[in-house]
Amino acid sequence: EAQVTQNPRYLITVTGKKLTVTCSQNMNHEYMSWYRQDPGLGLRQIYYSMNVEVTDKGDVPEGYKVSRKEKRNFPLILESPSPNQTSLYFCASSYLGASPSYNEQFFGPGTRLTVL
Amino acid sequence: GQQLNQSPQSMFIQEGEDVSMNCTSSSIFNTWLWYKQDPGEGPVLLIALYKAGELTSNGRLTAQFGITRKDSFLNISASIPSDVGIYFCAGQPLITGGFKTIFGAGTRLFVKA
């Protein structure tokens, strides 16, 4: 089954304790992205990756890191989490083609993070 | 940065009623997308629009790409309880070497049986 998986689905942590949220896709997509969803703000892009070893900042990258060492995986790293990073996080992936129809993103189920 | 204004923020309707929601932007977009998010899940693509003026249907859903390329609307006809959820519009501006997706804040739909 074609899918985007995220782990963990739920996480409660404390300020300053490094954490990683994993994301994996089995569709051989080039493009992967992380979003955070906050009430009244919709989804805001944190980081994205066009391919292995190619990453770039989205609209709200502060406090986050990513890596893309393999095509299927795109982990999100919070080196020193703070309470304002409490949010619902989504990973998404897509093909990257010249035609816009290739650029339709598939989303994972989400990771609800609480930073105390 | 670029922003989308999505309205209404929420809607409370009776089963069987039609629903309309829209998104506007001050910027031009190359692609307009409509997603639905069910509770506890990620957004799922409903309709994608690629040309100005395009009108596309998916079952009871109809969406249009505005002529000015700065707006889009989604209509749901004869709503049913399973239509409950958050609907997001999203726009993709024309950029070189990849793509960027900007999301609206969402319309939360409640359907009373």
Chain A residue at shortest CA distance from B50: A100
Enter the DSSP assignment of B82. G
Bridge partners, A55 (sequence order): A49
Q: Say what the pLDDT of residue A64 is.
A: 98
Tokens encoding A41: 């703000």
- pLDDT mean over B53-76: 96
Q: How far is CA A45 from the centre of its chain?
A: 8
Q: Say what the pLDDT of residue A101 is.
A: 66
Contact A105 B98 (CB under 8 A): no
Q: Say what the pLDDT of residue B96 is.
A: 64
Of A1-5, A16-20, A21-25, A66-70, which range is least confident? A1-5
Residue type (1 letter), B103:
F
Which residues in chain A have their CB less than 8 angstroms from residue B9's CB?
Answer: 40
Residue type (1 letter), B113:
A
Which residues in chain B have their CB less than 8 angstroms from residue A44's CB?
Answer: 103
Spatial neighbors of B95 by CB under 8 A, at least 6 apart, are none
Interatomic CA distance for residues A99 and A112, integer angstroms: 33
CA distance B113 to chain A (A): 26
CA distance A15 to chain B (A): 25
Contact B103 A110 (CB under 8 A): no
Interatomic CA distance for residues A13 and B56, integer angstroms: 44
Span A80-109, pLDDT tens digits: 999 999 999 999 999 887 666 667 889 999
CB B19 within 8 A of CB B84: no
Contact B42 A40 (CB under 8 A): no
- pLDDT mean over B39-60: 93
Contact B42 A105 (CB under 8 A): no
First vs last Cα of chain B: how many Å apart? 40
**Mean pLDDT across chain B:** 92
- pLDDT mean over A17-28: 97
Interatomic CA distance for residues A114 and A9, integer angstroms: 11
Interatomic CA distance for residues B87 and B16, integer angstroms: 18
Taking the CB of residue B8, how many other CB atoms lie within 10 A of it? 12
Tokens encoding A94: 């897509």
In chain A, the percentage of residues whose pLDDT exceeds 70 is 96
B97 in contact with A, Cβ within 8 Å? yes
